[in-house]
Amino acid sequence: MTKTSVIPEGFLWGGAVTSFQTEGAWDEGGKGPSIVDARPVKEGQSDWKTAVDFYHRYKEDIALFKEMGFNAYRTSISWSRIFPDGEGEPNEEGLQFYDDLFDEMLANGIQPVITLYHFDLPLQLAKKYNGFASRKVVDLFDKYARTVFARYGEKVKYWLTFNEQNLVLTNLQYWGVSTDEADNEEALRYQVTHNSFIAHAKAVKALHELVPGGQMAGMVTYMTTYPNSCLPEDVIANMKAKELLVDFYLDVFANGEYPSYVTSNLQRKGIMPHFEEGDAELLKENTVDYISISYYQSQTVSSEKVKEDAIISGITPNPNLKANEWGWAIDPIGLRVSLKDMYARYRLPIFITENGIGVREELNENNTVEDDYRIDYLRNHINQVKLAMEEGVEVFGYLTWGSTDLISSGGQFEKRYGFIYVNRGESDLRDLKRYKKKSFNWYKQVIATNGENL
């Protein structure tokens, strides 16, 4: 008897990026500035003005993605292309850009997977309202979401609200929020987190109202954590860290209410966020259709290192694992651990929308990069996805981070992730030409065999 493949027909294969890490054209087409454009450029790193010039070169890139066999590609919409100041009337030129982009993808058999918000708030909303600290920005986000759902609903089925929403507590700047004038910074952090949940739930509601069959995810970055030892203290410390790192968010997305391990703590401290009338019902009635994660690495949690209440301070590297140059531990089994855990808790389909390894690379004399380390990394992770699926987990797509190289989140171009090398340096844009790395043909045959040939 022949063994049937664990990966079903129609599984989504491709890559994932964002608008600001690829598009460039930061002030073209009527686009307003975003908080990313205003970020100071660190010494020796890139600004965001050109990125890989996807705005002008997307046809060439999509032709390469088609050659690899992609049937999905994730990017984000730049809010400030659609609403240059974040409010007022939409900018038709910005709307048309994404119409053309999505049409080009669809004409090449690639479905757009779209993130509404990937840390690039229109700058004006940060200055005027302190970003998502204000409910005004939640309402403006709702308006933006409704505008793009109405416009692209027929072209886009899979949506994500916020990229890696579980970073909100620790990275308020990604939500355009400054803590400078906060009386109680921790309370502000939870209030912004609450506001982001409300914005998320409103977007779920709007999609379901406006787009029949539209599928909305809540997304987290899933850094798997293990107890640093079998000491019961480490086990409980790890459990508590995981609650704050991922479970809190997924519980709200999937169950539509705050978990008691969070509310008990916030009530005890007197910093429960303010719920406006109707918030609890909104969360309850607008749960997600699927769960989406990025996965890169794992860590351990040591009870010894936990400082007071700051449970995340216990995170410490795993001596059993190798890491890349940036200290991100390579752990394919950690991905399977996270998939099994999420599926057991929520029974929702899972879409892996980022996975990959950043490496410093240069073209060799044959104008390619022999990136066997990337092939190994991806092969081992896909293998674990297959094992998780054999063990009953429902995964319906796998997207690598990057397709062409792109600017890393910290502003470095030399941390490369793509199957396609882009000829530019940090500040030297060179000619931005595209070259296939060795992994290009490897991923092509992975997709062609629907994950059989790794």
Q: Which residue numbers are catalytic?
A: 354
Beta strands in 61-157 (DSSP E): 72-76, 111-117
Report the distance separating Cα 138 and Cα 108, nearest Å. Answer: 35
Q: How far is the CB of 417 from ligand BG6 (least distance, A)?
A: 7
| Locus of tokens 């990313």 | 36
Q: How far is the CB of 294 from ligand BG6 (least distance, A)?
A: 5
Q: How far is the CB of 9 from ligand BG6 (least distance, A)?
A: 29
Residue nearest to ligand BG6 (CB): 408
Q: Which residues contact 245 (CB under 8 A, 6 or more apart)?
A: 166, 223, 225, 312
Q: Which of 147, 80, 81, 71 is nearest to 109 (CA)?
A: 71
Q: Which CB, 48 or 248, lies closer to ligand BG6? A: 48
Q: How far is the CB of 285 from ligand BG6 (least distance, A)?
A: 28
Write out the two tokens for 174: 């990604």
Q: Which residues are at the interface with ligand BG6 (CB under 6 A)? A: 18, 163-164, 221, 294, 354, 358, 401, 408-410, 415
Helix residue ranges per DSSP H, 108-178: 123-129, 135-152
Write out the two tokens for 56: 């002008």
Q: Which CB, 253 or 258, lies closer to ligand BG6? A: 253
Cα 369 vs. chain centroid, distance in angstroms? 26
Q: How far is the CB of 247 from ligand BG6 (least distance, A)?
A: 19
Name the burial class of residue 85, with classes exposed (0-12), middle (13-18) and buried (19+) by CB atoms within 10 angstroms of its CB.
middle
Q: Which of 369, 374, 370, 372 is nearest to 358 (CA)?
A: 374
Measured CA distances, 320 to 226, 323, 325 (Å): 12, 10, 16
Q: Which of 453, 432, 431 is nearest to 441 (CA)?
A: 453
Query: Which amino acid belongs to residue 127?
Result: K
Q: Which of 10, 49, 113, 109 is nearest to 354 (CA)?
A: 113
Q: How far is the CB of 215 from ligand BG6 (least distance, A)?
A: 20
